[in-house]
Amino acid sequence: MSTSNPKARAWDALGLKYYFLGRRSGKPTRATIRWFTADLVPSSRCLVVGGTSLAVIRAAIRTGCRLEVVDFSARVCDEVRARVPDTVTIVNHDILQPLATDGSFTHVVCDALINRFDDDEAGRFGRQVARLLRPDGVLRATVKLGHYPMDLRLMEIAAGRAGVAFWDEDTRTIDYGMLGDLLELGYARHGGIRREDLIGWYRNRGREKRYQESDLRQLFASKEWSWLDVHPEVAGSDRVRLEARRASR
């Protein structure tokens, strides 16, 4: 199975370098990893969306649950497959498109994945996860609220340039494809990842919304969901843990 989503090129540029070489602040804390997997048992069926969340995948494996990992990057899938037991199913697929396993999961978990979506993609993600989960199944996700430091740096550089339109204030959406040479001037280092790999990653990330808590509450406000909790990862953090429960049918 493959994906035609152009954003996959960003992750094909990095693969698991994001996990092994990227900055620590871009990964979930140990406490958050425990939160992701706290109630997984051998009878659970868990879907991890995003193969670069290798620590979460390994923690889920230790619970003995039936585990599937989905990622739209072929490179990420190949590199994860080489690092996990054969009992873990790895699927190269865009989560925004239907899976054959709809309605079969007790848990869907993802770290910072929603941050990679614009408004339309986030809505499609919410609807797709509702299809994937069993009645009373649970979605757990982490989301960074507000701007990344790199956003603010790029805006500062762009302030003195006419005709640069990579940021839409009305929708709070950044478009990496519109950055042009600003990316070379304003990109932020990411741990030990090489500059050329990072540029390829940023260049292909496309449109991403910068979320507020109200956006997340609206995203999971439909009748498909019976319960939602959003709280900071740690006190004062701009990263939140989101847990949503699929409604009973």
Residue-level pLDDT at 154: 93
Say if residue 49 is in the same domain as residue 82: yes
Say if residue 51 is in the same domain as residue 172: no
Residue-level pLDDT at 1: 46
pTM of the model: 0.95
Neighbours of 124 (CB within 10 A): 15
The residue type of 224 is E
Average pLDDT over residues 119-128: 97
The answer to whether the beta carbons of residues 145 and 238 sit under 8 Å apart is: yes
Here the CATH number for the domain that contains residue 178 is: 1.10.150.330
State how far the Cα of 233 lies from the Cα of 142, in Å rounded to an integer: 8
Q: Is residue 39 part of a domain?
A: yes
Residue-level pLDDT at 25: 80
Average pLDDT over residues 82-99: 96
Give the total number of structural domains in the chain: 2
Strand order in the sheet with 133-144: 89-92, 66-71, 45-49, 105-111, 133-144, 239-246, 225-232
Q: Which of 22-31, 113-122, 225-234 has the least mean pLDDT?
A: 22-31
Q: Is residue 3 part of a domain?
A: no
Give the model's confidence band at 233: pLDDT under 50 very low, under 70 low, under 90 confident, else very high: very high
**Domain around 195:** 149-208
Here the CATH number for the domain that contains residue 28 is: 3.40.50.150
Give the model's confidence band at 3: pLDDT under 50 very low, under 70 low, under 90 confident, else very high: low
Q: Could you read off the pLDDT of 194-227 as tens digits, one per residue? A: 999 999 999 999 999 999 999 999 999 999 999 9
The answer to whether the beta carbons of residues 99 and 93 sit under 8 Å apart is: yes
State how far the Cα of 11 lies from the Cα of 4, in Å rounded to an integer: 13
Say if residue 90 is in the same domain as residue 201: no
Say if residue 96 is in the same domain as residue 79: yes
Q: Given CA atoms 58, 64, 65, 66 in this order, what sign does their dihedral have? A: positive
Say if residue 167 is in the same domain as residue 187: yes
